Amino acid sequence: MTHSTAAGPEPVFIEVGQTRDSETVGQTQDSGTRRIAVRARSGGAPGLFWLGGFKSDMQGTKAIALDAWAAEHHRACVRFDYSGHGESGGAFIDGTIGRWLEESVAVFEQFCQGPQVVIGSSMGGWMALLLARELLKRPASLMSLAGLVLIAPAPDFTEELMWKGFSPEVKHEIETNGVWLRPSEYGEPYPITRTLIEEGRRHLLLGSAIEVGCPIRILQGAQDPDVPWRHAFALAHRLPVDDVVLTVIQDGDHRLSRPQDIARMLAAVAEIG
Q: Which residues are annotated as catalytic?
A: 122, 224, 254
For residue 248, give Cα distances in angstroms to 153, 155, 251: 12, 17, 9
Write the CB contacts of 53 (distance below 8 Å, at least 6 apart in sequence). 121, 122, 123, 124, 154
- Whole-angstrom distance, CA of residue 82 vs CA of residue 31: 13
Decide if 245 contacts 177 (C-beta within 8 A).
no
- Whole-angstrom distance, CA of residue 216 vs CA of residue 239: 9
Residue 57 CB: number of other CB atoms within 10 A?
17
- Whole-angstrom distance, CA of residue 270 vs CA of residue 21: 35
Residue 223 CB: number of other CB atoms within 10 A?
11
Q: How far is CA 14 from the centre of its chain?
A: 18
> In 3D, which of 29, 118, 40, 115 has the Cα closest to residue 81?
40
Axis-axis angle for helices 123-136, 97-111 (nearest 10): 60
Write the CB contacts of 134 (distance below 8 Å, at least 6 apart in sequence). 24, 25, 101, 105
